[in-house]
């Protein structure tokens, strides 16, 4: 069986550093008064049950205190307290350390499970540390109340469950009885309040009747407003019919005027079309004049074309000569290479010269002969090319002239296209001019007829008011302005 084997107190109340060893079974601490016996019991309780709380038991002049309990299975529990730290430290059988902080007023469950010591509840509220007996403490249970002794004995034999259930049941019955009494009082109070509103049934029936009457009145008001609107609309329509009838009497000859007006609109549209064409003809005249000036600038185009062909031939010949010059440069480089090789061959050993002398001389003679022939041919070609190149000193000027000729040819092609367009436009212009003259004659004739009709009717075709000669002239003038 596990039992407490040793306790060590450091800076706990009167103990600077004290250690006590216990035996298995009952242990009694004896000694003179004020020797620290109660402090030892208080330290053991502090480590086992976390009682008392606070830090007043730290020795005067010290900043921390601790109580260490060592059990028979080498398990240790250390309770450490400073002014800012509150800690439990558990050492298991293998010496492994576990630190606990922030556990409140109780003991960490891991420590209770490890040491197996805790307070025993004698009833639902009172608890007792049965492992430790203090000085002047009475015998177990004999100093307690009768109800506490009965509850403790019941808990020992397991009937505390029935006691707790009976207690809870009685409490529930008492609460239910109080609730029933309160509800009965509320019911009586509500019944009295309901009696005060007994007249509401008749009032509800009366309210329904009034709502029905209100709905009927609203429907009748809606019908009334609808009939008033219909009556006002009828009066307005009747008045409009009278106005329209009087206007129709004034518009007996309106159909004739409408036909005349339609013809006048058609003629005005044709006139606007002719004016647009006239503007196009003016624009084409300007283009024709510009084209004629371009033609005058291009009178000598045939001579320029011949010069362009000559320059093109000269350019081709220049390209050929440049190719010949490149070939001459290649031959010159080959001669230089062979000369360098000849100088290097002269530095070879005498033995090597004697062995390959005949073959080397033969190959050199053949190479030199071929080189000489190529050199002579290239010299002749070079002289011919130089003479030919001297003729092209002014080739840059010729290139500029060629560019100008190309631009001139492009302008000439554009001029030919413009000439054809001008010829077509001239023909159309003559046709449109003739059509315009005919339309002008027709418009003048129709305006005169329209003027005579206005004089005959004596009424404006737009506002139907009376018109005189001045207003007729104003209307005709309006059409002439549009023309």
Give the architecture-level CATH label for domain 4-118: 3-Layer(aba) Sandwich (3.40)
Place of tokens 């177990």: 140
Helix (H, G, I), strand (E, B) or coil at 97: strand
pLDDT of amino acid 345: 47
In tens, the pLDDT along 260-315 reads 667 767 777 777 777 777 777 777 777 777 766 666 655 555 565 666 566 666 66
Q: How many CA atoms lie within 13 A of 50 on its CB side?
A: 17
% of the chain exceeding 90 in pLDDT: 12
Place of tokens 């309770």: 79
In tens, the pLDDT along 380-407 reads 766 665 565 555 555 555 556 556 656 6
Is 170 or 410 the better-scoring residue by pLDDT? 170
Reference 404, options 291, 311, 289; nearest CA is: 311
Q: d(Cα 462, Cα 265) in Å, to the nearest integer? A: 14
- Residues counted in the chain: 483
In tens, the pLDDT along 338-381 reads 455 555 544 444 544 554 555 566 566 566 566 667 666 666 76
């Amino acid at each position: 069986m596990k039992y407490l084997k040793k306790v060590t107190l450091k800076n706990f109340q009167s103990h600077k550093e004290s250690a006590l060893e216990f035996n298995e079974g009952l242990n009694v601490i004896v000694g003179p008064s004020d020797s620290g016996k109660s402090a030892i019991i208080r330290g053991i309780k502090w480590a086992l049950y976390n009682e008392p709380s606070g830090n007043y038991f730290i020795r005067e002049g010290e900043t921390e205190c601790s109580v260490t309990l060592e059990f028979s299975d080498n398990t240790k529990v250390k309770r450490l307290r400073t002014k800012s730290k509150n800690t439990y430290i558990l050492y298991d059988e293998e010496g492994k350390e576990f630190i606990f902080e922030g556990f409140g007023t109780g003991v960490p469950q891991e420590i209770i499970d490890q040491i197996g010591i805790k307070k025993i509840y004698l009833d639902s509220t009172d608890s007792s540390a049965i492992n430790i007996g203090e000085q002047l403490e009475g015998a177990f249970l004999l100093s307690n109340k009768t109800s506490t002794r009965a509850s403790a004995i019941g808990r020992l034999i397991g009937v505390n469950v029935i006691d707790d259930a009976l207690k809870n049941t009685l409490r529930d019955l008492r609460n239910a009885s109080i609730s029933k009494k309160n509800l009965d009082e509320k019911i009586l109070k509500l019944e009295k309040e309901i009696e005060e509103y007994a007249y509401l049934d008749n009032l509800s029936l009366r309210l329904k009747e009034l709502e029905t009457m209100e709905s009927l009145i609203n429907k009748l008001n809606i019908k009334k407003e609808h009939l008033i609107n219909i009556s006002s609309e009828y009066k307005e329509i009747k008045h409009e019919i009278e106005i329209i009838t009087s206007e129709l009497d004034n518009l007996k000859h309106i159909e004739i005027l409408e036909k005349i007006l339609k013809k006048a609109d058609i003629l005005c549209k044709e006139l606007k079309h002719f004016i647009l064409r006239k503007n196009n003809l003016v624009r084409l005249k300007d283009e024709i004049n510009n084209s004629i000036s371009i033609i005058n600038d291009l009178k000598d185009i045939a001579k320029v074309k011949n010069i362009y062909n000559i320059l093109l031939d000269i350019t081709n010949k220049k390209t050929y000569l440049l190719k010949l010059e490149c070939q001459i440069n290649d031959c010159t480089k080959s001669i230089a290479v062979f000369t360098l090789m000849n100088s290097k061959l002269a530095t070879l050993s005498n033995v090597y010269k004697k062995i390959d002398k005949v073959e080397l001389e033969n190959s050199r003679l053949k190479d030199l002969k071929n080189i000489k022939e190529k050199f002579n041919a290239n010299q002749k070609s070079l002289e011919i090319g130089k003479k030919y190149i001297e003729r092209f000193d002014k080739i840059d000027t010729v290139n500029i002239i060629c560019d100008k000729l190309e631009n001139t040819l492009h302008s000439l092609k554009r001029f030919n296209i413009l000439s054809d367009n001008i010829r077509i436009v001239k023909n159309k212009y003559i046709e449109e001019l003739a059509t315009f003259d005919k339309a002008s004659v027709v418009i003048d004739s129709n305006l005169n007829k329209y003027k005579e009709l206005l004089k005959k009717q004596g009424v404006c075709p737009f506002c139907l008011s009376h018109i005189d000669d001045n207003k007729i002239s104003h209307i005709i003038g309006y059409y002439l302005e549009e023309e």
